[in-house]
Amino acid sequence: MVPHLVTALTGPINELEQRVLDSMPAIERWFRLEWMEHTPPFYCSVDIRNAGFKLAPVDTNLFPGGWNNLTDEMLPLAVQAAMAAIEKICPEARNLLIIPENHTRNTHYLASVLQLKRIFTMAGLNVRIGSISPEIKKTLSITLPLGDEVKLEPVIRTKRRLGLKDFDPCTILLNNDLSTGVPGIVEELYEQYLLPPLHAGWNVRRKSRHFQSYEEVSKRFGKLLGIDPWLINPMFGRVENIDFAEGTGMDALAEQVDVILSKVRRKYKEYGIKEKPFAVVKADNGTYGMGVMTVRDAKELAALPRKSRNKMGVIKDGQTVHDVIVQEGVLTYERMHNAVAEPVVYMMDRYVVGGFYRMHPERGEDENLNTPGAGYVPLAFQQSNHLPQASARPGASAPNRFYMYGVIARLAMLAASYELEATNPDAEIYD
């Protein structure tokens, strides 16, 4: 199924699309050379916003859920990508242990974990799901709404290895983003491969560092294509030491919002864009769409109600927010079933394996869509008739637009590889 795109298919995005299509051989060679120098994250998903005049990533998740939202057509490519990823890391791999998030009541999330299990089983591995939650003391079987069953087993830690009863994995796949820190049970596993590495978790990771890496990538890619990097890069700034509950640090936040909005206004004027700029304030770490708000004028922050401040001040697992990024807001002109939508692209190793539209009937084109009430419509990126058509005019072909999404997502993935290299505690440091 190819969703109908109602994006305005005129203006600079078409010029950008044409430039990308014309440069496809150079782009693919550029990526190949980058992957010779840098190791891609094991898997990730990227939220993209298409404003019609700008196409940019706004979030990159290194522990992606939502695999159950992809189509069956994407499974063969995901399996091939899984094979390639495992082969690079542990060619003799036999047993894989998936460690999910601790929450066991979210059946939508558990359906995603089950889909991951299917992918790696079809890639030729024995796969089981082991929980590090203190609440799981014996095997727990959970029946999902469609009748599938998920088995969560308590993990067992020996001196140097992590496994299950009668199951000794050589590879452990984390699908737990470590928001509350690294549990001791997964530390110092020197005899097993742990994917992604512990420093990919939100205990270390910061969105500001990721978008700093993405800014570097977008400048290099922009130079390759001869385009303004701003067309694919959301500007951002960082603000530290905020206490939303007490209202301290709000002046510094307002100042940074003003700086970003002023920069965006100049760009809009340069390109003749009539839209009103906005900024998005996000917790510098964390996921699940928590700790996010849209600001259209810095003055709004002075009048922010206590309820809104409290909502911004706490993210997943009750973590308190003290540092935020202020990101240039990117409109989304995509629509699905009359609801505002944004594409989310999934990758494994260095390959795009699929994606979906996240849509929300109660949200506006300048708001966060990753909130309760969101729906999902799958995109099949890799059917044979969905290859990009270089001869087609820009905007005339959904596959061309999908190729654009894949290019932007891979740029974000490359930025994540830069980011992980910079934060790797085991990296050699040379004077």
What integer pLDDT is reported at residue 335 of this predicted model?
81
Coil, strand or helix at 233: coil
> Is the predicted pLDDT of residue 339 greater than 80, yes or no?
yes
What integer pLDDT is reported at residue 89 of this predicted model?
84
Summarize pLDDT for 342-390 with one digit per residue, the tens.
999 999 999 999 888 898 888 878 788 888 888 888 875 544 434 555 5
**In contact, 213 and 418? CB cutoff 8 Å:** yes
Nearest alpha-carbon partner for 44 in 343, 410, 424, 425 = 410
What integer pLDDT is reported at residue 55 of this predicted model?
93
Q: What percent of the chain has pLDDT over 90?
A: 55
Residue predicted with more confidence, 427 or 209:
209
User: Are residue 222 and residue 312 in the same domain, yes or no?
Assistant: no
Helix axes 107-122, 75-89, angle to 10 degrees: 70
Burial class of 338 by CB neighbour count within 10 A (0 to 12, 13 to 18, 19+): exposed
Choose the weakest-confidence range: 36-50, 73-87, 295-309, 385-399: 385-399
What integer pLDDT is reported at residue 372 of this predicted model?
80
What integer pLDDT is reported at residue 291 of this predicted model?
73
User: Are residue 224 and residue 318 in the same domain, yes or no?
Assistant: no
Helix axes 24-37, 398-423, angle to 10 degrees: 20
What integer pLDDT is reported at residue 8 of this predicted model?
43
What integer pLDDT is reported at residue 383 of this predicted model?
46
User: Are residue 78 and residue 179 in the same domain, yes or no?
Assistant: yes
Last residue of a domain, one of 306, 329, 352: 329
Where do we find the tokens 């009359």? 338
User: Are residue 173 and residue 188 in the same domain, yes or no?
Assistant: yes
Q: What is the CA radius of gyration of the chain?
A: 21
Q: What's the Cα-to-Cα distance from 40 to each of 197, 214, 267, 326, rounded to whole Å?
A: 12, 14, 32, 26
What integer pLDDT is reported at residue 67 of this predicted model?
94
User: Are residue 80 and residue 181 in the same domain, yes or no?
Assistant: yes
What is the mean predicted confidence (pLDDT) over 222-242? 95
- Residues in contact with 109: Cβ distance below 8 Å, sequence separation at least 6, in sequence order: 65, 100, 101, 103
What integer pLDDT is reported at residue 287 of this predicted model?
67
CATH code of residue 144 = 3.40.50.11280
Where do we find the tokens 């993210």? 315
Whether 431 maps to a domain, the answer reads: no
Question: What's at 369, amino acid-wise?
Answer: L
CA distance 236 to 244: 20
CA distance 64 to 73: 19
User: Are residue 182 and residue 227 in the same domain, yes or no?
Assistant: no
Whether 429 maps to a domain, the answer reads: no
Last residue of a domain, one of 179, 200, 221: 200
User: Are residue 150 and residue 74 in the same domain, yes or no?
Assistant: yes
Model confidence band, residue 317 (pLDDT cutoffs 50, 70, 90): low
User: Are residue 110 and residue 230 in the same domain, yes or no?
Assistant: no
- Residues in contact with 393: Cβ distance below 8 Å, sequence separation at least 6, in sequence order: 18
- Order across the sheet with 171-175: list the strands: 140-143, 149-154, 126-131, 95-100, 171-175, 193-195
Where do we find the tokens 């303004």? 228
Whether 93 maps to a domain, the answer reads: yes
User: Are residue 364 and residue 284 in the same domain, yes or no?
Assistant: no
CA distance 387 to 208: 34
Whether 218 maps to a domain, the answer reads: yes
> Is the predicted pLDDT of residue 248 greater than 90, yes or no?
no
- Token representation of residue 201: 């978790």
> Is the predicted pLDDT of residue 391 greater than 60, yes or no?
no
Question: What's at 298, amino acid-wise?
Answer: A
> Is the predicted pLDDT of residue 97 greater than 90, yes or no?
yes
- Residues in contact with 365: Cβ distance below 8 Å, sequence separation at least 6, in sequence order: 331, 332, 333, 340
Summarize pLDDT for 278-302 with one digit per residue, the tens.
999 998 987 666 778 889 998 888 8
Structural domain of 303: 237-329
φ, ψ of residue 289 to 5 degrees: the values are: 70, 15
Summarize pLDDT for 148-200 with one digit per residue, the tens.
999 999 999 998 899 999 999 999 999 999 888 888 898 888 889 999 999 99
User: Are residue 158 and residue 289 in the same domain, yes or no?
Assistant: no
Q: Is the peptide bond before 196 cis (omega within 30 degrees of 0)?
A: yes
Whether 210 maps to a domain, the answer reads: yes
CA distance 340 to 332: 7
User: Are residue 266 and residue 406 in the same domain, yes or no?
Assistant: no
Q: What percent of the chain has pLDDT over 70?
A: 89
Where do we find the tokens 């790696």? 120
User: Are residue 50 and residue 105 in the same domain, yes or no?
Assistant: no
